[in-house]
Structures are given as structure tokens and as C-alpha cells.
């Protein structure tokens, strides 16, 4: 049964039935009860999507993620969905599998489906597609390290500062030769971490050469292969610095750090006595590793919550006056989680 049939059976206009569904307080009690009784008897369910189109609102948002594998992305998504549920919205999650072409396809689908807003997580969208979103007047927010876009609302963690603090911590622990395993994704975030690491290494006068930094796949396998190669490079007879010895590895993600830990153990070395290992992200598994992994904690869920709140502010502003507000840029602080793997003897800053 549709809304017209309900109106005919109740002896009222379609507009009156629509008012019962949307603004029941504007309908006389007797009429409202008669229409509601028919709706209940017929088990009528409104087509919410069609209703949304009539009101230029679908109560849906799109969330484009780099991958569904990785606890960091899922924690951000959890924060977004928490706010969306509170607002009575449905979230379309789109996994672009780190492929810019797939991301473009999803943007096309989301725009076609008239979503009320879009959140782009660690996006690699071109200016052309960003302009298309703006032309369609769809509110959008960027989460994570993205291309520099000062005219778009964004939320991210201060990864460079986190890397500076972690590298400085390794220096304070007495480590002389500190290697960096830099993941290939998310690219902009990895670059920020790498820059923070290099800044401290240069400022502290530590050894920094091409064999100190290896680009690796952002995975456990990438960390394992990269650490094996780095250890081999430093221990090979042809080492460019005689007597040079690797004594710490900084991984740009916890996943890479897990692989590096396995590689160190497979080389017959001890963590942290022979080589210290630290990561970035503070994934849930990091506190279960042996030894427990020292890492930089990113506030992933909070990033999702703040990003969603900004998006719904934009949606509400659009509904009220149709005007665009000044872009908001929120930068959240990271925290160090000091555990056994870094070789910090006192572990004063340890937090689980």
C-alpha cells in the first residue's frame, strides 16, 4: 500500500497523510489517530529515500576509506558512525583499496545518490574531483594527512610532532644509529613522520645516510623484509662506516614494527638489547607483542568523531542559510606509549 491508497482509505488528502508522517502535531487528534490506525494495520513503511529526495535530504553520508584492513581506519570509521547514529544518519562506507581510480568511482556514486555529506579519509583525490564535490554543494571533510587543501575542513593528528618526540626519546635512551622503515601508505602521513625523524637526527648530530631510511610496504611483510635488509646492510663487510652498528629501528606504523620485530628475532638478535624497535599508531596488538611495543598513539576514534561533528555542522549550516563557513582545521596531539621494546630502562612513561 502506498501513501495515495492510505489517503483514499482514510478519506483525506495525500498532504494530510504526509503531515501525519512528518509533522503529526499539525493534524487534528481525531484525524491523526484514524490515519495512524490505517498505517499500522497495513504495516505501511515510508520510502525514506524518496522522502529525502523530496526534502532535498537523504539522511545519508559517504565515508571513503583507503582500506578496510587496518585497525586505524576502522577506529576512525567507528568514530564517524558513532556521531552519524546519534544524528539518525546512515553511513555508506566505501573502500577504495588505495586506488585513486576506485576513489573517483565512489565519489561519482555518492554524488549520484545525493548523499548529504562526504568524509574523505587520507584522500588522494585530484583537484578536478574536489571541485566537482564543491560544485554539487555537498559538504565534505578531510580526515588524516591529505594533500594541502586549506579551503576544505579537515581533522588530522600531528604526526610530525609525534615522530620528533619518539626520535628524541630514542636518542635520550642512548641509541646512536637509528634506522627508519617508512611505509608507502598513507603517503602524506609517512612523509610527515619521516620529516620529524630527520629533523631530530640532524639536530642531534646522529648518523643519517641512505642506508638509514628504507621505503617499505605498509604491512607486516614490508616491515620484515625492510628490517632484514637494513640489518644485513649494517652488518655486511662492505658497510660504508666501519664499526657502524644499527641499534634502533623506528617504523612509521605498528604493522611495519611487528614485521621488524620478527626479522630481528630471526637474525638471532634480542629486542631491545641488540636492536630497539618503536612504531607509530598504537594498534591494539602493540600491547600484546613480546616485548611490548613502544609506539606513538594517534587518536583515531577522536579524529572520526571530530570529523563527523564538523560535517554535520556543515550540513546544518547549509540547511539554514546555504552559506559556506570559514574552513575549520583541527590538529590533534599524539601521545607516546613507552614500553619495553625501546630499551628505556626506567619506563617511567609506560602506559597501557
Average pLDDT in the 107-117 region? 92
Map out the domains of the chain as residue ranges.
3-46, 60-158+301-334, 159-297+336-342
pLDDT at 352: 41
Q: Does 26 or 238 have the greater pLDDT score?
A: 26
Tell me the C-alpha distance between 250 and 182, whole Å: 8
Nearest to 337 by CA among 257, 276, 281: 281
Question: At 275, is the secondary structure helix, strand, or coil?
Answer: coil
pLDDT-above-90 percentage for the chain: 62
Q: Which residues contact residue 300 at a Cβ distance below 8 angstroms, ignoring those fewer than 6 apart?
A: 71, 72, 75, 76, 79, 281
Kindly report the CATH number that applies to the domain delimited by 60-158+301-334.
3.40.50.2300
The confidence band for 56, taking pLDDT boundaries of 50, 70 and 90, is low
- Cα 65 to chain centroid distance, Å, stands at 7
Average pLDDT in the 294-301 region? 97
User: Mind listing the pLDDT tens digit for each residue in 118-161?
Assistant: 999 998 888 888 999 999 999 999 999 877 788 999 999 999 99
pLDDT at 286: 92
Sign of the CA dihedral with 99 first, then 73, 145, and 291 last: negative
Tell me the C-alpha distance between 295 and 130, whole Å: 34
The confidence band for 25, taking pLDDT boundaries of 50, 70 and 90, is confident
pLDDT at 158: 96
Average pLDDT in the 182-187 region? 88
The confidence band for 266, taking pLDDT boundaries of 50, 70 and 90, is very high
Fold of 3-46: 434 Repressor (Amino-terminal Domain) (1.10.260)
Residue 172 above 50 pLDDT? yes
DSSP letter assigned to residue 158: -
pLDDT at 304: 97
Average pLDDT in the 229-242 region? 71
pLDDT at 49: 58
The confidence band for 242, taking pLDDT boundaries of 50, 70 and 90, is very low
What residues does 142 pair with on adjacent strands? 120, 154
Tell me the C-alpha distance between 51 and 47, whole Å: 6
Tell me the C-alpha distance between 241 and 99, whole Å: 40
Q: Does 319 or 251 have the greater pLDDT score?
A: 251
pLDDT at 351: 47
Domains 3-46 and 159-297+336-342 agree in fold? no
What's the burial of 153, exposed, middle or buried (CB within 10 Å: 0-12/13-18/19+)?
A: buried
| Residue 141 · residue 153 · CB < 8 Å | yes
Tell me the C-alpha distance between 307 and 147, whole Å: 16
The domain 159-297+336-342 belongs to what CATH superfamily? Response regulator (3.40.50.2300)
Amino acid at each position: 500500500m502506498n501513501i495515495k491508497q492510505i489517503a483514499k482509505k482514510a478519506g483525506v488528502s495525500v498532504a494530510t497523510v504526509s503531515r501525519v508522517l512528518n509533522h503529526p502535531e499539525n493534524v487534528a487528534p481525531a484525524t491523526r489517530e484514524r490515519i495512524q490506525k490505517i498505517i499500522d494495520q497495513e504495516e505501511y513503511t515510508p520510502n525514506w529515500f524518496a522522502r529525502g529526495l523530496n526534502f532535498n535530504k537523504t539522511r545519508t553520508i559517504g565515508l571513503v576509506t583507503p582500506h578496510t584492513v587496518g585497525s586505524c581506519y576502522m577506529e576512525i570509521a567507528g568514530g564517524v558512525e558513532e556521531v552519524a547514529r546519534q544524528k539518525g544518519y546512515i553511513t555508506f562506507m566505501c573502500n577504495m583499496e588505495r586506488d585513486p581510480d576506485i576513489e573517483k568511482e565512489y565519489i561519482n556514486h555518492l554524488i549520484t545518490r545525493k548523499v548529504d555529506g562526504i568524509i574523505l579519509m587520507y584522500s588522494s583525490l585530484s583537484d578536478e574531483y574536489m571541485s566537482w564535490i564543491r560544485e554539487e554543494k555537498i559538504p565534505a571533510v578531510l580526515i588524516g594527512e591529505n594533500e594541502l587543501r586549506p579551503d576544505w575542513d579537515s581533522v588530522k593528528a600531528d604526526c610530525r610532532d609525534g615522530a620528533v618526540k619518539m626520535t628524541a626519546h630514542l636518542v635520550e635512551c642512548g641509541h646512536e644509529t637509528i634506522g627508519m622503515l617508512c611505509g608507502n601508505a598513507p603517503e602524506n602521513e609517512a612523509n610527515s613522520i619521516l620529516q620529524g625523524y630527520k629533523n631530530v637526527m640532524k639536530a642531534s648530530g646522529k648518523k643519517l645516510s641512505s642506508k638509514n631510511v628504507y621505503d617499505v610496504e605498509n604491512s607486516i611483510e614490508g616491515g620484515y623484509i625492510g628490517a632484514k635488509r637494513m640489518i644485513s646492510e649494517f652488518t655486511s663487510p662492505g658497510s660504508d662506516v666501519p664499526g657502524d652498528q644499527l641499534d634502533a629501528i623506528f617504523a612509521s606504523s605498528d604493522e611495519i614494527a611487528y614485521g621488524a620485530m620478527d626479522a630481528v628475532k630471526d637474525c638471532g638478535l634480542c629486542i631491545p638489547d641488540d636492536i630497539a624497535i618503536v612504531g607509530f599508531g598504537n594498534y591494539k596488538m602493540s600491547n600484546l607483542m613480546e616485548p611490548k611495543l613502544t609506539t606513538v598513539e594517534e587518536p583515531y576514534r577522536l579524529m572520526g568523531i571530530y570529523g563527523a561533528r564538523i560535517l554535520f555542522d556543515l550540513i546544518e549550516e547549509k540547511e539554514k542559510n546555504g552559506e559556506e563557513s570559514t574552513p575549520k582545521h583541527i590538529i590533534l596531539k599524539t601521545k607516546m606509549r613507552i614500553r619495553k621494546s625501546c630499551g628505556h630502562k626506567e619506563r617511567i612513561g609506560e602506559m597501557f
